[in-house]
Structure 1
Amino acid sequence: MAVVALNWELGADWGHIARFLPIALGLRERGHEPVLLLRDLSRAHALFATHGIECLQAPLWLRQVTGLPAEINLTETLFRFGFLEPEGLMSNIAAWRALWKRIGAQLLVCDHAPTALLAARGLGQPTVVIGNSFAVPPLAAPLPPYRWWMAHGSQHGRLAETDRRLVYAANRALAAFGAPPLHSACDLWRVPQRYICGVPALDVYGERAGATYIGAINQPDAGEPPRWPEGEGPKLFAYLKPSYRHFDAALDALAAAPARVLAYAPGVPAATEHRHRGRVVFSPRPLRMAEVCAQADLGLCHAGGTTELLLHAGKPVLLLPMQMEQTMTARRAEATGACLHQPMNGDADALRERVNRLVTDPALARAARCTADEQPPRKSGLDMLLQGCCEALGPG
């Protein structure tokens, strides 16, 4: 039996923590002991306590870094999490290593955990990198720009300088521990086993030769069964966050559409729910997505993990991104012909037209069915990852 540390450092929402449950249970079935080091423990008890899986707080960079321009690639995003300050990195490296030593970790699995990957250098423990395509960037120096759809000739010098600055700070921190240096930011993710929890068509950096895509790993059978509105028209599932800048406009567009709308909008104001009663059914709790995707005809979400679930089921989706990673996903998904995309800075008035097209355009449904036919079986991806973890541990 080996102790396996599952490490999550950056990101938000359910995606990372939900991915860890089937991985942890699969490792346990193979005779290993998973221990989770999590960025956010607020949902850990509800998800893991009944399984007896230990969850601990991961070391985090909490101090706000100011005075930086809007980031143009992942390297610059890491500047906001300590990668400009060697002494701060030293503190977090020491904290990660102390936690791993305390639990006796023999394998490190890192999901969007760049400082953990830095701390792992030179330890001699096998390390596996997992995550969606955004969190597992290409091994390219410098790391590619976020806005791949725009010309970046004038930014090449900035990208190179960004890479140099991160390497300088990281190597000063690594030197304090006698760990091998980075040559480029991408070396953080340069380990023998890297698994992208997604599909090539939705890779935010574009499909990569030689990459290992294993599809989404999640819990589609957890949650409440869907209860659709009565009546006629296609079934449309919407996952909407009240913090979305056009939340009210999106609900108005859904209520006006010739469709039966079931929405999960955590924290929706009671007055808003009442205003749309009779046109939109709101679920107070997360839904069983395996049933939702099987029964729905259409989807609407913010271009997070729900996107792949719906496309895997062959359902067209309207995507309403709220941040850069989601924008990158939305543009890749739109390129399949199976999705529509409302830009972050788009006009709220355009939402009604896009929702109406989602409901009425048969070309979207045809493209979605074609996209679904290209997806790998879900179970095989999890099995591949678990097998890789066992191989990384070696015999014994």
Structure 2
Amino acid sequence: MSNTIALCWELGGGLGHVTGLKMLADRLIQSGVQVILVVKTPHDLLSFKSCPPAQLTPIVLQAPRWRQTSPSSNSGQRFTEKPITNYAATLLAAGYHDGKQLQQHCDDWQALLKQHQVSLVVADHAPTARIAAHLLSIPHIGIGTGFCCPPKQTPFPAFDMAPDVDDNARIVADQALTQQINQVLQAAGASQVTNAQQILCSDNDVLNTLPHMDHYQRQNQDGYWGPLFSQQLGTQNQIGNSDNTEVPSAAHSKTKKRLLCYLKAGYPNISALVWALVNSDAEKLVYMNDNGELANILRNDPLTQFSQTPIDINTELGAADLVICHGGHNLSAQTLLAGVPLLMLPEHMEQGVLANKLQQQGLALACDTKRTTEEYQTMINKGLTDPQLTANSQAFANHYRGYDSDEMADEMSEMFLEIIKGQ
């Protein structure tokens, strides 16, 4: 029996998915098992510092891509419309409404798993990898945020704070999702399921979040493992290469407020946001994956240090008064666990649900993409000066004091090793 573990990521975006999988891969390969990282964006792994010896580097593969086909039916097309209020509707909008596309995608995943003789699939927002593993009789387990690991309920429950929840719409979405999955199972000669949850959910799934940050209201509060955020992401010396040397490093005392920004150049209103940052009299440490005009604007600001590559969050959080980001789960968790408030600029639904939930608890401010420069400036000033926001964030950190992401990764790795040993 092969001892190959496939760590898979299929849907969604951001560094958070590869962060957790890379942490697990480093531990598993040093335990003597073969690991393949099957991820949506392999190039993101270049953002990490080297950890294990070179001879233990895992195999990195591009996750199968969804092929472009037309919707299989008009009824399927409606699931690509918003608002999307539960996990079933999310998958239908991501491509599961198209039976032909889902079949081809599942075939691609099966071919990959068979080629590498995988003995365990660990799926972080990789539902098709789980279907493929089911068809190949390979054990599979889900990990990830609440968004990726919904409660095992039929129909899938609504996201926490989702607008205009329609119970009938959730039932219809569940039925449509189950029908599409059953078509794949039937084509493979496998037994059909009564609901999609039988494949896409498991009692052993690992919930990598905290109750305050869950995308759902869960009755069982005992299933939380906690977030995975890496100590290896980004480098400190890249900031030292900034054109601006006037801004003190995190190790120095400071008299001004300090912003730590993790931004995407593709954010719909990034220009207005950049000018709001430049107009702020706070010191700024900005990561943005851009080297064009906006990057030059930031470089020319005497109070801004700019980096095109991810920065060392662990080093810089201690000096930050506010973190501005798009609402990625792991960065948000790491920030709040350090007692620092957030200004969140969500780009998609997963981030939006989290941003709304944290704002409701007084842990963050949330902005949509239609703000003016002046409105962004107002939000930044509020985030830097609101004492209640800071107090709430520090209370969050005190509540979870002692949480150790590295210990959590150790425990998860041990569990995966026990699974393959028991085969």
Residue by residue over 1:208-245, the C-alpha shift from the partner in whole angstroms, topping out at 9 and shown as x without a partner, is 51553222223233322155824621221011222222
Question: Secondary structure of the equivalent of 1:109?
Answer: strand
**Does the 8 A contact of 2:160 with 2:357 survive in 1?**
no
1:204 and 1:294 map into 2 onto residues whose CA distance is 27
> How far did residue 344 of structure 1 move?
3.8
2:272 is matched with which residue?
Answer: 249
Say if 2:214 is the partner of 1:215: no
1:59 aligns with 2:64: yes
Match of 2:306 among 282, 286, 296: 282
CA offset at residue 109 of structure 1? 0.6
Partner of 2:173: 162
Whether contact under 8 Å (1:4, 1:107) holds in the other structure is yes
Equivalent position of 1:308 in the other structure: 333
Give the conservation status (yes or no) of the 8 Å contact 2:276–2:373. no
Q: Hey, what's the Cα distance between the residues in 2 that align with 1:294 and 1:271?
A: 27
Amino acid at match of 2:418: E
8 Å Cα contact 2:335/2:342 also seen in 1: yes
The DSSP-based 3-state class of the residue aligned with 1:106 is strand
Equivalent residue, structure 2, for 1:70: 82
Contact 2:121 2:140 in 1 (8 A): yes
Q: TM-score, normalised by structure 1?
A: 0.90
Whether the 8 Å contact between 1:8 and 1:58 is mirrored in structure 2 is: yes
Aligned to 2:96, the other structure's residue is in SS state: coil
Give how far 1:287 is off. 0.7
Distance (whole Å) between structure 1 residues aligned to residue 389 and residue 291 of structure 2 = 29
SS of residue matched to 1:10:
coil
1:176-235 superposed Cα distances (whole Å, 9 cap, x missing partner): 223343322333322242112221111122355155322222323332215582462122
Is 1:193 matched with 2:204? yes
Partner letter of residue 189 of structure 2?
G
For 2:388 and 2:45, locate their aligned partners in 1 and report how far apart those are by CA, in whole Å.
41
Q: 1:256 to 1:64 in 2, by over 3 A?
A: farther
Structure 1: 5+ residue stretches without partners: none
Deviation at 1:160, TM superposition (A): 1.1
RMSD after superposition: 2.5
Aligned equivalents of 2:67 and 2:319: distance in 1? 42
Aligned 8 A contact 2:83 2:163 in 1: no
CA deviation vs aligned residue, 1:107-157 (integer Å, no higher than 9, x gap): 1111111111112225332211111221111212222334725342xx222
Question: What's the CA shift string for 1:307-330, capped at 9, x where partnerless?
Answer: 111111110111111111111010
Q: CA separation of 1:272/1:395 partners in 2, compared to 1, >3 Å: closer, same or farther?
A: closer
Q: Residue 20 of structure 1: CA displacement?
A: 1.5
- C-alpha separation in 1, matches of 2:283 and 2:266: 23
1:377/1:42 CA distance change after superposition, 3 Å: closer
Change (3 A) 1:292 1:208: farther
Do residues 383 (structure 1) and 406 (structure 2) align? no
The size of the alignment, in residue pairs, is: 394
1:205 aligns with 2:226: no
Q: Of 357, 362, 365, which aligns to 2:382?
A: 357
Q: 1:356 to 1:268 in 2, by over 3 A?
A: farther
User: Which of the numbers 183, 187, 194 marks the counterpart of 1:172?
Assistant: 183
Q: Is the 8 A contact 2:89 2:173 kept in 1?
A: yes
CA separation in 1, counterparts of 2:70 and 2:394?
Answer: 45
Deviation string for 1:20-39 (max 9, x for gaps)?
Answer: 21101111122211112222
User: Does the 8 A contact of 1:7 with 1:108 survive in 2?
Assistant: yes
* 1:25 corresponds to: 26
Write out aligned runs for 1:364-379 (5 A): 364-375=389-400, 376-379=403-406
Aligned pair 1:292/2:316, yes or no? yes
Q: Aligned pair in 2 of structure 1 residues 62, 53: CA closer, same or farther (>3 Å)?
A: same
Asked if the contact 1:200/1:208 (under 8 Å) is kept, the reply is no
Partner of 1:237: 260
**Unmatched tracts of structure 2, length 5 or more:** 72-76, 241-245, 249-253
- Percent identity among equivalent residues? 26
**One-letter identity of the residue aligned with 2:315:** E
**C-alpha contact (below 8 Å) 1:327/1:344 kept by paired residues:** no
